[in-house]
Amino acid sequence: MASFVGTVLSALVGAAAQALIVDTALACAVAVGLSVMLMVPLRCMHPPGAGFAAYVVLEHINGVALVAFPILFNVAVLLLCAVIYNALTGKRYPHPQHSLKRGFSSDGNGVFAPEDLDAALKHYNQVLDISRADLEGLMHIAGRSAFNRNFGNLRCVDIMSQPVFAVESGVPQKEAWALMKQERVKALPVVDADGVVLGIVSISDFVRQATLDAPEGVAQRIRHLVTGRSAQKAKVEALMETEAQVVEASCLLVDLVPLFSTGGCHHLPVWTLSANW
């Protein structure tokens, strides 16, 4: 579609230059230069379009009529052929302008953000004959391929910790803290009576609470936390993070990279067929 718009636009510029400028050499130069200047910001850069602008000027006939036929007619026929060919080969044409959006899923998480791409384009400081959306999608695909090459076919089941220790939401925080110290784990899934994951509680949650709710002083609060004298009656449900994301055991490690890099996750419960987590 960019080629269609770029060609017709350049031809119209050539017709205008031919009508307004008497000198052929000057009209040709203006037509080519102006067509390029218009195609770049309009995101319809098509190099042969500048040639059509010069062609209209050099023909020395009615420029508007020349744009209508044969230029517009021929381009329309070529475009129709492209649509038919792509339909027969199972491809969509015109190509939809979209990106994969932040990493490798549609939830907005990824290994880099749109502002990172903006910074790279600013540093490159060149005109690229590709839409920004397509470039972003291409970079994400390349990033996923690189991660797949590095991680291979490793899945969650290959690296997850077993057995899994969990607590129910009504368990006192003191018991949850004692379990983490005893089993030397940094987080515990919080489940209901049926084993369904309700959230997750980690060491950082205990430390955060110790530093925020510290009327007797941060040092004293942390000392109580370490010795087990804090949170005698408080329940885990008051401390846990309720937006814990559960992943399947068959999930590829490469798909977890966006969650850990930009999603703020440090621990993820893994769901298996033999249990809910």
Higher pLDDT, 194 or 260: 194
pTM over 0.75: no
CA pair distance 58, 18, nearest whole angstrom:
8
CA pair distance 242, 149, nearest whole angstrom:
34
DSSP class of 130: S
Domain presence at residue 277:
no
**Domain CATH for 189:** 3.10.580.10
Chosen domain end from 36, 61, 88: 88
Write out the residue range of the structural domain in which residue 135 sits.
97-152
Chosen domain end from 106, 122, 152: 152
What lies within 8 Å, CB to CB, of 163 at 6+ separation is: none
Same-domain check for residues 163 and 267: yes
Domain presence at residue 13:
yes
Same-domain check for residues 137 and 180: no
Domain presence at residue 114:
yes
Chosen domain end from 88, 112, 133: 88
Q: Sorting pLDDT into bands at 50, 70 and 90, what band is 98?
A: low
Determine how many CB atoms are found less than 10 A away from the CB of residue 185: 15
Q: What percentage of the chain carries pLDDT values higher than 90?
A: 16
Higher pLDDT, 260 or 29: 29
Q: How far is CA 75 from the centre of its chain?
A: 35
Domain presence at residue 66:
yes
Yes or no: say if 84 and 35 are a contact pair by the CB < 8 Å rule: no
pLDDT in tens, 9-22: 999 999 999 999 99
DSSP class of 272: B
Residues counted in the chain: 277
Residue 155, strand partner residues:
252
Determine how many CB atoms are found less than 10 A away from the CB of residue 249: 16
Yes or no: say if 170 and 138 are a contact pair by the CB < 8 Å rule: no
Q: Sorting pLDDT into bands at 50, 70 and 90, what band is 26?
A: very high
pLDDT in tens, 218-245: 556 555 555 555 545 688 888 888 877 7
In this predicted structure, the answer to whether residue 258 has a pLDDT above a threshold of 90 is no
